[in-house]
Structure 1
Amino acid sequence: MAWFSLVIAGLFEVTGVLSINKLHRDKNISSLLILLTSFGLSFLFLAYALQTLPMGTAYAVWTGIGASGGALLGMFFYDESRDWKRIAFILLIIFAVVGLKLIS
C-alpha cells in the first residue's frame, strides 16, 4: 500500500507542477487552489508512504515521478523540446525509479 501511495503522491506532484504553469498563465484563484490542493495531497500521500518506506528511497521515487512526469507532459502539452538526448535522460530517471522499487 505504501508504494501505491507513493505513486499517487508522485502523480499529484506532476499535477502540482503543471498547475504552476497554469497559475503563471491565468493568475486566478481557481488556478491557485488547484496548485495548493495538488501539492497538499502530494505531501499527504508522501507522508503516508514514509511511514513504511525508507526516506531516501521514497523521496527519490517521488521526485523522479514528478521530474519525469513534468518533463513528459511539458513535451506533449507545451511544445517543449523532444530532443532524443532529453528523452534518453528522462528514461534514465524512470529506470532508476523502477530499480529502486526492485531493490527495496
Structure 2
Amino acid sequence: MGWLFIVMAGIFEVGGIISLKLTEGFTKLKPTILLIMCMGLSFFFLSLSLKEIPISIGYGLWTGIGAAGSVLLGMLIFNEPKSIKKLMLVGGIIISIVGLKLVS
C-alpha cells in the first residue's frame, strides 16, 4: 500500500501546485480552499507511505512526481513554453522516479 499512497500523495501535490497558481496570490477563495485540501491530503498520504517506504525513497518520489506533473500540466493548462529540452529533462525526472522504485 505504501507505493499506492506515495502516488496518491504525488497526485495531490500536483493538484496543490496547480491550485496555488490559480489562487492568484491568495486573492481567490475557491482555489485557496482547494490548495489547502490538496496539500493536506498530499501530506496525509505521504505520511502513510513513509510507514513502509524509507524516507530517502519516499521523499524523492513525492517531489519527483510533483515536479514532473507540475511541469507537464503547466505546459498543458497554462500554455507554458514547451521545448524538447524541457521534455527531456522531465523524462529524466521520470526515469529517476522509476529508478528509485526499482532499487528499493
In structure 2, what is the equivalent of residue 84 of structure 1?
84
Structure with greater proportional helix content: 1
Aligned residue pairs total 104
1:12-51 to structure 2, matched below 5 A, reads: 12-24=12-24, 27-51=27-51
2:2 and 2:44 map into 1 onto residues whose CA distance is: 12
Taking structure 1 as the reference length, the TM-score comes to 0.96
Displacement of 1:24: 1.0
Who is 2:66 aligned against? 66
CA RMSD of aligned residues (A): 1.2
How far apart are 1:30 and its partner, in Å?
Answer: 1.5
Q: Which sections of structure 2, spanning at least 5 residues, go unmatched?
A: none
- With normalisation by structure 2, the TM-score equals 0.96
- What secondary structure is seen at the aligned counterpart in 1 of 2:81? coil
Task: Please report how far the alpha carbon of residue 29 of structure 1 lies from its aligned counterpart in structure 2 after TM superposition.
Answer: 1.8
Once the two structures are superposed, residues 39-58 of structure 1 have per-residue CA deviations (whole angstroms, 9 ceiling, x without a partner) of 00000000000011000100
Give the whole-Å Cα distance in 1 for the aligned partners of 2:38 and 2:55: 21
